[in-house]
Structure 1
């Protein structure tokens, strides 16, 4: 009986789906978020992502529900979903964009302004007592990052020390406070944390046991890109919609995804960081 009920439910759903205009189901208008920053998993972030995509669809004039998409905190999972689903647009971590943007035919449309900045920077934090005295002394040790790759860490955060970064035992931590506690307890030699954590370092419970060993350079914020398959008209419309999204009744939507605003950007704005990453 249960199987029959399921079939009876799915049949009308299938029929309705066939009658929905193709634009609603159009892959070239899908939008995937492949970066860290939201709380929880893909499933837990689902309602927040749905609200963002619906507001974006309304601003574009495509309508709520016209844009399909999900959030993937694991960039490798996100990369595979992009390849499988072939969306027209994506919000990417800088690491993912630098490593695979060319392969995916990514064209930068805008960049996210977060924590009041259109750029980001990472710091290496170690134990105040007994911690390494230099970046070189990190070689072979346990380092707790977010999702950044060894290449990103070495070529950008550690200023070209890719071999050193590849010698590290990189262990994922779900949030910066967990990473810093591990360092304070001696369970990791160092942690990579973002600028906004350093700005609020006085709020870190174990701050007295830690110090900043090194700071990386300023890097551009995470890009929003158009991918192969999206039309020229849709790309222009998407850029325009993003630039105005966080104004008026869209402000709360942007806050929900931890973005202050979107700023106009092009591939040229990422040329220097692409060069450094390619070392």
Structure 2
């Protein structure tokens, strides 16, 4: 005996969980990030395909870029529906780019705190007016006002030295060419295996901050938040390949407070 199942029930069972027919374009901007656009594209495509299946979008496309100029040019050109940005870039650009934060990205490679390192015995007060190096993409304004919650002035209160990498900043500190170096959580973990770690100590650690921000551009993208919340549960390998642990709902009040700190005189 054959069991007759109504076609409507079959369609409901196989339909995307958050059906929302629309074309969606992603831009993943991580200035100073690893790899290249070409290397990242297959992983990005697989991730976006999983989101498309979950959200029920008509089509989805996207690309990863790791330099600020390319990111800004892409945003100026228009066409992106969703943009993923480090916290500093989001705070600096959210108004101009008309961003609506949807979720935060959490992974082991996203800095949640920043640290000022100096040679052992040096205090934070002793660093006033001194050279402080950073190999991070983040600006002096963001690091001082947000990353360190206003506890260090990297504009008027010190000479901020930008270098290419965190290792360069640490080597310059070790040689005495600068008096302190700024690193993030990821770099701090890597530092533990280096000999020069024995001569340095942390003189200031900033507050824990949100990870990268996923935002819709201009108008909300239907189903985006729900799809992000479920994708790492339904497609864990794809999230692992993207080096993403999870996506969490954004805390609008926290972001607004951080934006205010960044723009405060």
Counterpart position of 1:255: 240
Listed as ranges, the matches of 1:88-237 within 5 Å are 88-115=81-108, 120-128=112-120, 132-134=122-124, 137=127, 139=129, 141-160=131-150, 164-165=154-155, 168-174=159-165, 176-199=166-189, 201-228=191-218, 230=219, 232=220, 235-237=221-223
Calculate the TM-score normalised by the size of structure 2: 0.78
Larger fraction in strand: 2
Give 2:257's match in structure 1, choosing from 272, 276, 279. Answer: 272
Q: Deviations over 1:239-258 (max 9, x none)?
A: 1110011113x212222222
Aligned counterpart in structure 1 of residue 38 of structure 2, from 29, 43, 48: 43
Q: Distance in 2 between matches of 1:273 and 1:217?
A: 11
Q: Say whether the 8 Å CA contact 1:219–1:273 is kept in structure 2.
A: no
Indicate yes or no: 2:64 matched with 1:71: yes
Report if the CA contact (8 A) 2:134-2:181 is conserved: yes
Give the TM-score of the pair, scaled to structure 1. Answer: 0.74
How far did 1:153 drift?
A: 1.4
Coordinate RMSD, CA, aligned: 3.0
Counterpart in 2 of 1:58?
53
Q: Report if aligned partners of 2:34, 2:66 keep a CA contact under 8 Å in 1.
A: no
Distance 1:272 1:55 in 2: 33
For residues 45 and 246 of structure 2, the distance between their equivalents in structure 1, rounded to whole angstroms, comes to: 18
- Change over 3 Å in CA distance of 1:87–1:186 after alignment to 2: same
The alpha carbon displacement at 1:92 in A equals 0.9
Residues in 2 aligned to 1:206 and 1:121: alpha-carbon distance in whole angstroms: 21
Looking at structure 2, the residues matched to 206 and 147 of structure 1 have their Cα atoms a distance apart, in angstroms, of: 23
Q: Look up the match of 2:230.
A: 244
1:112 counterpart SS class: strand
Segments ≥4 residues shifted beyond 4 Å = none
**Structure 1 gaps, min length 5:** 1-22
Q: 1:60 to 1:143 in 2, by over 3 A?
A: same
Distance 2:180 2:41 in 1: 32
